[in-house]
Amino acid sequence: MPYDFFIEWLYPLPIKHKKMFGVDAFYIEDQIVFALCQNEKYQQDHGIWIATKKQHHQKLKHQLKSVRPLLSIGIKTWLVLPETHDAFEEDAHTLVSLLKSRSPLIGNIPKKRKP
């Protein structure tokens, strides 16, 4: 799995792992909070994807130097910390702090799938 260091930093959060669209998605309780991507299909967006809402984008951009919208897929609510950015690890640390404090800026409750 990509970015093992990031997962280790999250200890002891009760994160749950699921595969989603060829990336590794992670949940805390019923909220999807982030995904890890090194899928060749999404080369432009290799990094840590952040589940959020559009109204939180500006606040997150102030806290995370490298954050930007996803380029590979048209999901407008998610942001990415690109692995190629110089501030990647620093921003990953900040993201861990936000996750551990259960920041309302991060997380979405996925829509239920229709049977």
Residues 40-90 have pLDDT tens digits of 999 999 999 999 999 999 999 999 999 999 999 888 899 999 999 999 999
pTM here? 0.92
Distance CA 13, CA 8 (A): 10
Given a cut of 90, is residue 16 above it in pLDDT?
yes
Strand order in the sheet with 47-50: 15-20, 23-28, 31-37, 47-50, 79-82, 68-69
**112 has pLDDT over 80:** no
Helix (H, G, I), strand (E, B) or coil at 65: coil
pLDDT over 90 at 22, yes or no: no
Q: Is the pLDDT of residue 6 over 80?
A: yes
